[in-house]
Structure formats: C-alpha cells, structure tokens
Amino acid sequence: MEPLSLMSTWDVIWRVVVPIVLVAAMAGTVWFVFTEPPDQFSRPRGWQWAWVAIWLVTAGDAAFGDSRWWFERTWKACVAVLVAVAVVVAVWRHLRWRATRARSSVSPPPDPARPDS
C-alpha cells in the first residue's frame, strides 16, 4: 500500500475518512443501545438479519482479507466488534426488561383461606 502522501484525495477519503466515519457511527450505535430505555428501543421486524450480514461481512473481511490493506482489516474488525457488542447488549437489555415487566404485571393468586369480607 502506498503512503498517504502519495495517495490522491479521493483515495484518502475512501480509505481513511469513510472507515473512521463508519467506526464512529457504530460507536454511536453502541452508545445509543446503552442509553436508550429498553421499552423505547424499537426493533423493526425483518432487520435482525441485516445486523448478522453486517457482522459476517466485516468479521470475514477482517479475518480472511489477506490482500487487503492493514488499515482496512483493522477498521472492519473494529466495526465487527462494535456490532457484536451493540447486538448483545440490546438483546440482553430487552430480554431483561421483558422479564421484569412480566413479573411486575402478574398479580399473586388469591388466597382461598382469607375471605375478602
């Protein structure tokens, strides 16, 4: 790979700036997952496979992209880790929230030994 000083402006934007923006966007997604209340976290139906596809492509390119530039492999590995963290945290928080909500909405059964009157 050629040094940054020999690259054209578009090469620098495509190979350096865009990856930095993507990593920052995924870091923002992780921050959003940690800060958004689980009851307001919306998960549109059918989009779960998009997260799996993003993770598989970036993790695969990072692990097996032998002919790729080291910076490209590094940012793809970083994005794959951030996607995995965001998905695991979102699912864990949502499942924990659903369990808490289910426990609080269930009323105890009435005691037959104690009449209400």
pLDDT of residue 65: 80
Alpha carbon distance 18, 23 (integer Å): 9
**Any domain includes 39:** no
The pLDDT tens digits for 9-22 are 888 788 788 888 88
Mean pLDDT for 94-107 is 78
Mean pLDDT score, 23-40:
78
Question: Which of 32-36, 77-81, 108-112 bottoms out in mean pLDDT, i.e. has the lowest?
Answer: 108-112
Range of the domain at 97: 4-22+48-104
In a domain, 113, yes or no: no
pTM higher than 0.85? no
In a domain, 28, yes or no: no
pLDDT at 99: 83
CA separation for the pair 30, 28 (Å, rounded): 5
Give Cβ neighbours of residue 22 (< 8 Å, ≥ 6 apart): 75, 79
Considering its fold, how many domains does the chain have in total? 1
Answer for the pair 49, 28: CB distance below 8 angstroms, yes or no. Answer: no
Residue 23: pLDDT band by 50, 70, 90 thresholds? confident
